[in-house]
Amino acid sequence: MSGMMKSLYIEDNVSINLKDIPIPQPSNGQVLIKVECAPINPFDKEFLNGYKIGQKPLVSAVPGFEGSGTVIASGGGLLGWQLKGNRVAFYTEHQFGAFGQYAIADVNYCAELPKHITFQEGCCSFINPMSVLMMYQLLGNSSGIVSTGACTNLGRMLMRYCQSKGINVINIVKSQGEEKQLKDEGAKLILNLNQEDFEEKLKLMASSYSTTVLFDSVGGDLLSKILNLMPNGSRAYLYANYSKKSLEGIYCANLMYQNKKIFGFSFVDILQSKNIIQLKLMMNEILNNIQGCFKTLPTQIFSLEEFEKALESKEKAIIKI
């Protein structure tokens, strides 16, 4: 397919512009997708701030890591031809990402959308829901987790999914408003970080519910404060750093004598370790629950022209192409 398309385009390290560029052509094992919707994730904001993510180039590129649309061309290969004409959700680290009228994606990272799932629902099928499944697979024998990003879309998905599997989730919030929001969504265990007895309650809860895994999105001194209060043998996974601070306050003795550990959680690395059968099984589970455990709410819709406004949105922003 030839012609021009409208897209957001990064020309150098400091500027992103809406411009017309040639429609890209897929290679073997890739497909060309006419994009309908693409969400703005923390991934995208980190990338736009100059952080290299996966194989995606930082310059001369269209940003956007996931979206939904219709496959209109295949670069070759059986899977690509089978997808042609189908509605899909997709993840991509290609130079031509989701924030344009057309995107390139590897066939392994495309999932056909059932008819009852809209493009708006389907565009959020990969990064957050897949992260939740990856986190669940890390639990091992643990029967409980602590979640510090409890009111983010990922945190709420994690709470809903783990509770559905019988895993206790201690949700950490910062306000009564967040506490009410989670209660309304069915959260069973909630602790307000600003309560005077927060540390005492957390230590008791973590012990009572055998909570030995922490999923942290804040970083700074919060990870250490919580991990220090958790039972021996506890593990912390840092999947974001909203505080923009270095880790502080780790008791070295806890790492040496209480067998506590801290890991980075890399969505990209874990995704690349999955084979096509594993990916298909995970995506089937996600799409079967995209209107339940893995729903994304609330959302606000923007056009490509409103991209800068979308970046500032306090709700989940979705670009409708």
Q: CA dist 181 to 178, 187, 242, Å?
A: 5, 9, 20
Please name which of 161, 135, 136, 172 lies closest in space to residue 266, comparing C-alpha atoms: 135
- Structure confidence by residue, pLDDT tens digits, 65-103: 999 999 999 999 999 999 999 999 999 999 999 999 999
Domain boundaries, the chain: 4-125+275-320, 139-264
Q: Which CATH homologous superfamily contains domain 4-125+275-320?
A: Medium-chain alcohol dehydrogenases, catalytic domain (3.90.180.10)
CB environment 157-177: b (16+ within 10 A), e (fewer): bbbbbbbeeebbbbbbbeeee
CA 197 to chain CA centroid, nearest Å: 32
pLDDT at 315 (0 to 100): 86
- Structure confidence by residue, pLDDT tens digits, 101-111: 999 999 999 99
- Structure confidence by residue, pLDDT tens digits, 8-40: 999 876 688 999 999 999 999 999 999 999 999
What does the block give as tokens for 79? 């899977």
Angle at 321 between CA 282 and CA 54, to 5 degrees: 45
pLDDT at 11 (0 to 100): 85
pLDDT at 80 (0 to 100): 94
- Structure confidence by residue, pLDDT tens digits, 221-248: 999 999 999 999 999 999 999 998 998 8
CA torsion, ordered 315, 64, 135, 202, to nearest 10 deg: -30
Average pLDDT for the chain: 95
Is the domain spanning 139-264 CATH 3.40.50.720? The answer is: yes
- Structure confidence by residue, pLDDT tens digits, 179-209: 999 999 999 999 999 999 999 999 999 999 9
Quick check: helix, strand or coil at residue 122? helix
pLDDT at 249 (0 to 100): 86
Q: Which helix (H) or strand (E) holds 39?
A: strand 30-39
